[in-house]
Amino acid sequence: MSILFKNARLIDPEARTETTGDLFVQDGVIAAVGDTPDTADQVVDCRGKHLAPGIVDIGVKICEPGERHKESFRTAGLAAAAGGVTTIVTRPDTLPSIDTPETLEFVTRRGREASPVNIRPMATLTKGREGREMVEIGFLLDAGAVAFTDGDRVTTDTKVLSRAMTYARSLGAVIIAHPQDPGLSRGAAVTSGKFASLRGLPAVSAMAERMALDRDIALVEMTGVAYHADQITTARALPALERAKNNGHDVTAGVSIHHLTLNELDVGDYRTFFKVKPPLRSEDDRIACVEAVKTGLIDIICSMHTPQDEESKRLPFEEAASGAVGLETFLPAVLRLVHAGDIALPDLWRAMSFNPAARFGLPGGRLAVGAPADLVLFDADAPFVLDRTKLHSKSKNTPFDGARLQGRVLSTYVGGDCVYTKD
């Protein structure tokens, strides 16, 4: 089975180029780029639209096991396909959490049987995410764990953390942490500043992120572990990140699409769909993070897809659950930065596909011969107004409801199979 994509704007995130050309797929693998055969079993005329490697999304919460009413592998997979995400790396902060090879096996199996896109699981770093005992890192790696993270829980006991890091290093496992000082951020719903004070909401200083990152980097220096900060969202944390990288430590960082496109003022009159973790930051912080993505200081953009049902969100702001869905809105949201002229498409795409795949040793993320044909064809300019009720996710908690967005996925391919076509 072969497919020929003709007249495409090919985005190559590895080479950071955008060129017009053809792409040939043979048996689920990219077989030729540019210099392609003239015919194939199936010919797709891309009409000058963009063809790129599918998005690799790190840190997606799928609420199986435990809260399937919020999201299942099926619905998350459909949302991902509709959003151009071809590989989902799942978070282990489920009920129960994914901290044994047996539960990891459940995730892998459910992902395989229910989702049209690739599902790769992460495991917790400590048992039950309690920050006391490390999980069976070796067994979990063998079972296919991509990385180890306690999600948004910070391991406060540095003895436990340093041992887990030392052990992880010996096996070459990557650890993902959520840099947020637990003391300063306790009970916080927004970032401190004028807006927080006007609304009377409990707030955390932006400094809490840098404090935690500083601590983690010291531990990385001590243990030599491969470390990824899930979300760096403040200007103050960036110099610390840059220093760690310049000093040759194996440190990378991510940022959520929400922190790149929204700021604290979007909360407005207590709109709980804008309550995320860490909280939305100031406009200055947002601009600094966009710039950091552009320069490559921040390596990875993720959706931080966190489904919450209506009941968890229809509460006073302080009591409402954190998180926003993002799989399906990832692409149009991120294109806001391109349309605003902040960043070029290939640079952006590097942070959405090539970098996460390379960092976590996943096969996708490249537009090169031999890479799996995980592809997304999209119209970067198509305007639309987002209607949250139309999202494929079971939970509809998107901050972009009613937003005017530009950029729609036309079709998504996983291993050469078409898993989504816009009707």
Partner 1 sequence: MTFRQKHLLGIEPLHPEEIRTILDLADTYVDLNRSPTKHSDALAGMTQINMFFENSTRTQASFELAGKRLGADVMNMAMQASSIKKGETLIDTALTLNAMHPDLLVVRHPHSGAVDLLSQKVNCAVLNAGDGRHEHPTQALLDALTIRRAKGRLHRLNIAICGDIAHSRVARSNILLLHKMENRIRLVGPPTLMPSGISHFGVEVYDDMREGLKDVDVVMMLRLQKERMDGGFIPSEREYYHRYGLDAEKLAYAKDDAIVMHPGPMNRGVEIDGEIADDINRSVIQEQVEMGVAVRMAAMDLLARNLRDAGDKGVWV
Q: Is 187 in the site for partner 1 (CB under 8 A)?
A: no
Shortest Cβ distance from residue 271 to partner 1 (Å)?
A: 9
Q: Find the shortest distance in angstroms from Cβ 272 to partner 1.
A: 8
Shortest Cβ 69–partner 1 spacing (Å): 16
Q: Quick check: 222 binds partner 1 (CB under 8 A)?
A: no
Q: Residue 176 Cβ, how far from partner 1 at the closest point, in Å?
A: 29
Q: Does 194 bind partner 1 (CB under 8 A)?
A: yes
Nearer to partner 1 by Cβ, of 44 and 201: the residue is: 201
Indicate which single residue of 68, 127, 199, 215 sits in contact with partner 1 (rule: CB under 8 A): 199
**Which positions from 99 to 128 touch partner 1 by CB under 8 A, shown as an x/- string?**
------------------------------
Quick check: 188 binds partner 1 (CB under 8 A)?
Answer: no
**Of residues 194 and 404, the one with the C-beta less far from partner 1:** 194
Number of residues binding to partner 1, judged by CB under 8 A = 21
Name the residue nearer to partner 1 (CB basis): 238 or 267. Answer: 267
Rounded (5°) CA angle 376-379-384: 120
CB 231 to partner 1: min, Å: 21
| Contact status: 402 vs partner 1 (CB under 8 A) | no
Report the nearest approach of partner 1 to the CB of residue 317 (Å): 5
Q: Does 318 bind partner 1 (CB under 8 A)?
A: yes
Instruction: Determine, following the binding rule CB under 8 A, whether residue 198 of this chain makes contact with partner 1.
Output: yes
Is 197 among the residues that bind partner 1 (CB under 8 A)? Answer: yes
Minimum distance from CB of 311 to partner 1 (Å)? Answer: 7
Q: Within positions 234 to 293, which residues make up the interface with partner 1, using CB under 8 A? A: 269-270
Sole binder of partner 1 in the list 76, 122, 203, 226 (CB under 8 A) = 203
Residue 315 interacts with partner 1 (CB under 8 A)?
Answer: yes
Under the rule (CB under 8 A), what is the footprint of partner 1?
192-201, 203, 205, 269-270, 311, 314-319
